[in-house]
């Protein structure tokens, strides 16, 4: 993206001034180097989002932004229903409520290294991962509806997890306002045997060690010390969310004109929040959020079972669970807004009423996944983030190279051997999948996280590096 | 010109493009390109067939719908498809997909397909050939 297109507000904040049909400006949070490497499509998509009815503040772009579907991935946009605001299936994405959760094990890396191969094999044996993998939990019709209404709370009540997990999950583990009846039979069918599965692509389960602490006080409040071991799970709402995204995208594209919405591009397909379609999507999307929360909860239970066998001294308390593809109704100042975060993480600052007592002083943990070779980051939400971008931060590294190019550049076996030489054990059913996810195919997550920190979106707390990676 | 397919670059995901002397052939080739995201289409045996019918108000939405119906069949039947034959009319598509149950060892599937998007979605003619393309979320 050419810098000449932008007005520089601060070192890490850039504005696309309002012009033409834009209702608000667009604001990009990134270093100069990151902005220069951003695709020109991000600029176009941020401008298009700024034209949508009822948008409030600005069309925000996070430091890891890249070319998405209508909305940029790494985009944040809030809408006011009272001002004709819209909800967009593309603004949430196909993998509804895709997100990351982090478990604190309470053990040190030497304890894991002593059983590293056994632990990798046991996790790989227990966690269904990869294309076509199925879970051991088959839900009937009424159980599916209970899961869609109850989320992680349903999972805990069904025996997958502990009640104390719930306060460490956004929405207390249960998204209110879910409408299982708004979820199609096809979407439910697609989920039939996918509960408790990891998926594929960039989804993973990693055992990681804390390799650096950036803020000792915040790290202590999160229960993190150097060399501690954590488990990070990255996945979403599986087939159910994908099908809901697919169906509502089509319906919104077909009916935009009837709703009087002029789309700059039909991939921006949306519906007024106060319309029958908008409300139906909200109900279905919230049910998909619950599906993702339940799924990560079941995976957590499977991880605990494996650790109980091999490392019974591990505690596996939940640090936090964040979703980075959502639209949520939130209070911001005097207004109640529908905030779309597509490839962006909510980042509530200290004192936010939705945080549990133990996190009130620190702010919300913000979990940022990197590649399987470079590591991930744990940040904390800041008070400034509220005025910057409705309390939002980045979500990951973003690809530097297409899947096709990556699979032609590397062989999965070589990637696994190179990582093993660095003490990282990878288990995956697909060698081509591993090649496509090679660490070098991703951008430098450190640069993204540094920009988020410098822009005041979230504060860097710790870096974690993988010891074991289960890749779908 | 014989019908063929190709992938095109998208930052996060994969673009699929079918090219053929007729519009139905371009649609069939786009479906083959989508299979190729997951596995080598040539390694998929035509052991079972699945019939698909769908509707949409225009050619482009029909292409996305066709691919999305295939994604649904792949996901729920745990199948891959390696051959397609379709008929197209105004706003409708009738097709058959031949394939087999996914065999992780033989197919080495790289990634599952989540949905066909409307990004770079286009159905049209170029230099006498039909093109049907879109970006697929993986």
Q: What is the pLDDT of residue A182?
A: 98
Q: What is the pLDDT of residue A373?
A: 84
Contact B111 A436 (CB under 8 A): yes
The answer, yes or no, to whether ipTM is higher than 0.85 is yes
CA atoms within 13 A on the CB side of A160: 24
User: How close A429 gets to chain B, by Cα (Å)?
Assistant: 7
Contact residues on chain B for A134, CB-CB shorter than 8 A: 78
Contact status of A199 with chain B (Cβ, < 8 Å): yes
Q: What is the pLDDT of residue A133?
A: 87
Chain B residues whose C-beta sits inside 8 Å of any chain A C-beta: 7, 9-14, 37-38, 56-57, 61, 64-65, 68, 71-72, 75-76, 78, 102, 104, 108-112, 114-119, 121, 135, 137-138
What is the share, in percent, of chain A residues with pLDDT greater than 90? 90
- One DSSP character per residue, B59-72 reads HHHHHHHHHHHHHH
Domains and CATH numbers, chain A: 3-400+442-471 (3.90.1860.10)
**DSSP strand E in A244-288: where?**
270-272
pLDDT at A101 > cutoff 90: yes
Contact B110 A131 (CB under 8 A): yes
Q: Which of A236, A403, A409, A415 would best serve as a mutation to test chain B binding (most B beta carbons within 10 A)?
A: A403
Q: What is the pLDDT of residue A273?
A: 98
Whole-angstrom distance, CA of residue A73 vs CA of residue A62: 9
User: A345 falls in which pLDDT band (50, 70, 90)?
Assistant: very high
Beta bridge partners of A60: A27, A76
pLDDT at B11 > cutoff 80: no
What is the share, in percent, of chain B residues with pLDDT greater than 70? 100
CB A349 within 8 A of CB A383: yes
Question: What stretches of A158-195 show up as alpha helix (H) in DSSP?
Answer: 185-191
Whole-angstrom distance, CA of residue A255 vs CA of residue A265: 14
- One DSSP character per residue, A310-371 reads H-TT---EEEEEEESEEEEEEEETTEEEEEEEES-EE---TT-TTS-GGGTTT--EEEEB--
For residue range A148-186, what is the model confidence (pLDDT) as tens digits? 999 999 999 999 999 999 999 999 999 999 999 999 999
Strand duo A425-427 + A458-471: pairing: parallel
Tell how far CA B70 is from the center of its chain: 7
CB A388 within 8 A of CB A456: yes
Contacts of A87 (CB under 8 A, 6+ apart): A79, A270, A271, A272, A273, A278, A281, A282, A327, A338, A340
pLDDT at A443 > cutoff 80: yes
Whole-angstrom distance, CA of residue A258 vs CA of residue A254: 8
pLDDT at B62 > cutoff 90: yes
How much is the average pLDDT of A89-111?
Answer: 96
For residue range A61-78, what is the model confidence (pLDDT) as tens digits? 999 999 888 999 999 999
How much is the average pLDDT of A322-339?
Answer: 97
- Burial category of A329 from C-beta neighbours within 10 Å (exposed 0-12, middle 13-18, buried 19 and up): middle
Considering only CB atoms, A69 lies closest to which of B57, B75, B117, namely B117
How much is the average pLDDT of A415-419?
Answer: 97
Considering only CB atoms, A239 lies closest to which of B75, B118, B138, namely B75
Contact residues on chain B for A68, CB-CB shorter than 8 A: 12, 119
Q: What is the pLDDT of residue A469?
A: 97
User: How close B91 gets to chain A, by Cα (Å)?
Assistant: 13
For residue range A219-274, what is the model confidence (pLDDT) as tens digits? 999 999 999 999 999 999 999 999 999 999 999 999 999 999 988 888 899 999 99
Contact B38 A407 (CB under 8 A): no
What is the share, in percent, of chain B residues with pLDDT greater than 90? 92
For residues A188-202, b (16+ Cβ closer than 10 Å) or e, as one string?
A: bbbbbbbbbbbbbbb
Domains and CATH numbers, chain B: 4-137 (3.55.10.10)
How much is the average pLDDT of A305-313?
Answer: 97
How much is the average pLDDT of A285-300?
Answer: 98
Q: Which of B66, B75, B135 would best serve as a mutation to test chain A binding (most A beta carbons within 10 A)?
A: B75
For residue range B65-80, what is the model confidence (pLDDT) as tens digits? 999 999 999 999 999 9
pLDDT at B9 > cutoff 90: no
CB B50 within 8 A of CB B99: yes
Considering only CB atoms, B111 lies closest to which of A67, A200, A239, namely A200
pLDDT at B1 > cutoff 80: no
Contact status of A72 with chain B (Cβ, < 8 Å): no
CB B21 within 8 A of CB B129: yes
Question: What stretches of A224-275 show up as alpha helix (H) in DSSP?
Answer: 238-255
SS3 content of chain B, % helix, strand, coil (to 5): 30, 40, 30
Q: What is the pLDDT of residue A99?
A: 98
* Residue A395 a catalytic site member: yes
- Nearest residue in B to A74, CA atom: B12
How much is the average pLDDT of A118-137?
Answer: 93
Q: What is the mean pLDDT of chain A?
A: 96
Q: Which of B114, B116, B117, B122 would best serve as a mutation to test chain A binding (most A beta carbons within 10 A)?
A: B114
pLDDT at A409 > cutoff 90: yes
Nearest one of B54, B57, B70, B56 to B16, comparing CA atoms:
B70
pLDDT at A402 > cutoff 90: no
Identify which has the larger pLDDT, A318 or A200.
A318
Question: What is the rounded (10 degree) CA torsion for A362, A366, A370, A374?
Answer: 0
CB atoms within 10 A of CB A225: 13
Q: What is the pLDDT of residue A117?
A: 98
Backbone phi, then psi, for B108, in 5-degree steps? Answer: 40, 60
- Nearest residue in A to B102, CA atom: A132
For residues A105-125, b (16+ Cβ closer than 10 Å) or e, as one string?
A: bbbebebbeeebeebbbbbbe
CB A419 within 8 A of CB A426: yes
- Nearest residue in A to B36, CA atom: A404
Tell how far CA B76 is from the center of its chain: 16
């Amino acid at each position: 993206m050419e810098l000449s297109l932008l007005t520089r507000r601060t070192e890490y904040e850039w504005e696309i001034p309002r012009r033409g049909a834009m209702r608000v400006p667009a604001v990009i949070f990134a270093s100069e180097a990151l902005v220069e490497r951003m695709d020109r499509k991000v600029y176009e998509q941020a401008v298009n989002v700024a034209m949508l009815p009822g948008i409030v503040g600005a069309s925000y772009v996070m430091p890891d932004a890249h070319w998405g579907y209508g909305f940029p991935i790494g985009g944040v946009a809030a809408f006011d229903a009272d001002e004709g605001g819209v909800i967009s299936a593309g603004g949430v994405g196909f993998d509804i409520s895709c997100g990351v959760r982090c478990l604190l094990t309470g053990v040190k890396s030497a304890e894991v290294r002593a059983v590293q191969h056994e632990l990798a094999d046991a996790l790989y044996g227990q966690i269904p991962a990869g294309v076509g993998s199925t879970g051991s939990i088959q839900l009937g019709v009424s159980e599916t509806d209970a899961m869609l209404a109850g989320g992680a709370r349903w999972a805990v009540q069904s025996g997958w997890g502990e009640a104390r997990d719930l306060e460490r999950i956004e929405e207390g583990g249960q998204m209110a306002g879910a409408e299982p009846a708004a979820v199609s039979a096809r979407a439910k069918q697609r989920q039939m045997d996918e509960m408790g599965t990891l998926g594929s692509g960039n989804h993973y389960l990693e055992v990681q060690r804390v390799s650096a602490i950036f803020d000792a006080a915040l790290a202590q409040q999160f229960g993190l010390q150097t060399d501690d071991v954590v488990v990070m799970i990255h996945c979403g709402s599986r087939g159910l969310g994908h099908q809901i995204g697919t169906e509502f995208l089509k319906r919104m594209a077909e009916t935009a004109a009837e709703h009087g919405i002029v789309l700059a591009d039909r991939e921006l397909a949306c519906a007024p929040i106060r319309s029958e379609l908008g409300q139906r999507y909200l109900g279905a999307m919230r049910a998909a959020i619950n599906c993702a929360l339940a799924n990560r909860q079941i995976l957590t239970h499977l991880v605990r079972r494996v650790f109980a066998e091999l490392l019974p001294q591990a505690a596996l308390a939940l640090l936090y669970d964040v979703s980075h593809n959502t639209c949520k109704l939130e209070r911001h100042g005097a207004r109640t807004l529908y905030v779309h975060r597509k490839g962006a993480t909510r980042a509530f600052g200290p004192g936010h009423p939705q945080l549990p007592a133990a996190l009130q002083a620190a702010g919300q943990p913000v979990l940022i996944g990197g590649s399987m070779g470079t590591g991930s980051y744990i940040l904390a939400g800041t008070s400034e983030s509220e005025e910057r971008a409705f309390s939002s931060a980045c979500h990951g590294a973003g690809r530097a190279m297409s899947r096709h190019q990556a699979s032609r550049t590397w062989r999965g076996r070589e990637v696994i051997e190179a990582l093993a030489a660095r003490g990282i054990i990878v288990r995956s059913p697909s060698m081509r999948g591993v090649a496509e996810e090679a660490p070098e195919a991703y951008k430098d997550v450190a640069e993204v996280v540094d920009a988020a920190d410098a822009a005041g979106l979230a504060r860097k707390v710790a870096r974690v590096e993988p010891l074991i990676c289960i890749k779908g | 010109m014989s019908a063929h397919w190709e992938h095109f670059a998208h930052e996060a995901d994969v673009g699929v493009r079918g090219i053929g002397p007729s519009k139905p052939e371009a649609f069939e080739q786009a479906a083959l390109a989508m299979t190729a995201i997951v596995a080598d289409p040539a390694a998929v045996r035509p052991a079972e067939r699945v019939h698909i019918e769908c509707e949409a108000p225009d050619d482009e939405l029909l292409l996305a719908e066709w691919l999305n119906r295939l994604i649904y069949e792949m996901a729920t039947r745990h199948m891959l498809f390696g051959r397609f034959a379709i008929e197209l009319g105004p706003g409708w598509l009738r097709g058959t997909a031949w394939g087999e149950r996914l065999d992780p060892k033989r197919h080495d599937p790289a990634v599952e397909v989540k949905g066909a998007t409307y990004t770079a979605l286009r159905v049209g003619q170029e230099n006498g050939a039909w093109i049907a393309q879109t970006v697929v979320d993986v």
